[in-house]
Amino acid sequence: MLTVHHLGVSQSERIVWLCEELGVPYDLVRYERLPSMAAPPAYKALHPVGTAPVITDGDLVLAETGAIVDYVARRHAAGRLLLGPDHPDFADFLFWFHYANGSMIPAFMMDMTAQRLGAPRSSDRSDIAFALVERRLGAATWFAGDDFTAADIMMVFPLTRARAAAGRDIAGLPNLAAYLERVRARPAYQAAMAKAEPGGAEPDGAQA
């Protein structure tokens, strides 16, 4: 049985959402953060990297969000929510799938570091990211195109929890605001958030 090890208020909520979207059976084990917001020792012991997310599937223990999304979709759902090289939106899918963790979250981490040091933001990478996102969502319903894909599952976390933690709002970004409303209207997203954060931590107002 696939088990999702979810660290409260973390990007492992993406994996819960993925399983709900795919209809993949899974067990959910939730771990509370320490008062310092660090992961508890039991979570860090799951995998040598010591970070969220982590899944177990039989004897397999797997970390890293992108790897887990790819694994679950291919191993348990015949590749649904992934686009192959013959699909016309393949390149857009790949870009946004990898942009989420490759560029957007690091940009917000730089903002958060500057904020905690009481220094001005030293990079315009997050501004560039918001501009790219707003432009894309003015041209397409979902990040890869007309259809919801795993690229959306990857992108929503930086656009909600990580963005909130970095102290960025979306005033003046109507395309992004409308997109997040479409996400929140999805039954699978609602089910995932209810299971991942039963205390009701809202993605737009919680720490990443």
**pLDDT 10s digits, 196-208:** 998 766 676 433 3
Separation between Cα atoms, residue 161 and residue 201, nearest integer Å: 10
Higher pLDDT, 121 or 15: 15
Separation between Cα atoms, residue 170 and residue 90, nearest integer Å: 28
Separation between Cα atoms, residue 203 and residue 99, nearest integer Å: 20
Give the rounded percent of residues in the chain with a pLDDT score beyond 70: 88
The pLDDT value recorded for residue 188 is 98
User: What average pLDDT score do residues 164-176 get?
Assistant: 82
Mean pLDDT of the chain: 91
Phi first, then psi: give them for residue 57, nearest 5 degrees: -145, 95
DSSP 58: T
Q: Is a pLDDT exceeding 50 seen at residue 85?
A: yes
* 14 contact partners, CB below 8 Å, separation of at least 6: 53, 65, 69, 153, 154, 156, 157
The pLDDT value recorded for residue 207 is 33
Q: pLDDT category, 123, cuts 50, 70, 90?
A: low
The pLDDT value recorded for residue 183 is 97
The dihedral over CA atoms of 103, 23, 181, 94, expressed in degrees to the nearest 10, equals 30
Query: Which tokens belong to 203?
Result: 């993605």
**pLDDT 10s digits, 92-117:** 999 999 999 999 898 887 776 666 66
Q: Is a pLDDT exceeding 90 seen at residue 70?
A: yes
**To which residue do tokens 């709900």 refer?**
20
- The structural domains of the chain, ordered by start, are 2-82 (3.40.30.10), 90-188 (1.20.1050.10)
